Amino acid sequence: MEKIICSAIYFDDGVEHPHQPKNIETGFVICGRRHHNCFATAFIMDPERKYIKLKDIQGFLTDTDRFVDRYEGQIIALESNQVLDIEKLRGKKLYSEDLY
């Protein structure tokens, strides 16, 4: 059963980069404990803030090496019993706080 392993943000710069999740053809994924950690890493890598102009999708990395958005992330987390408190879910999106 697929599981969520960490928060991630996908930035599509239109370039093929090596060693990205298997479902990412162009762009790159930055992972972190929480989404703000991913943005902090992006800012360190890009002090001129070019990445801010790129379309980004917040989501998660799974243990099958896939990037998923917050909607699919919630489905996976619920099916694999990773959500700490179902009563505290905010709509149909997963937040890292829902996991740990």
Give 11's Cβ-side CA count (13 Å radius): 19
What local confidence, expressed as pLDDT, does residue 57 receive?
95
Task: Give the whole-angstrom CA distance, residue 24 versus residue 65.
Answer: 10
Mean pLDDT comparison of 13-17, 38-42, 62-66, 89-93, highest-scoring range:
62-66
Place of tokens 């943000």: 9
Q: What's the pTM?
A: 0.92
What local confidence, expressed as pLDDT, does residue 53 receive?
73
Question: Is the CB of residue 40 less than 8 Å from the CB of residue 66?
Answer: no
What local confidence, expressed as pLDDT, does residue 84 receive?
87
Whether residue 32 is predicted with pLDDT greater than 80 in this model: the reply is: yes
* 38 pLDDT tier (thresholds 50, 70, 90): very high
Portion of the chain with pLDDT greater than 70, in percent: 100
What local confidence, expressed as pLDDT, does residue 60 receive?
98
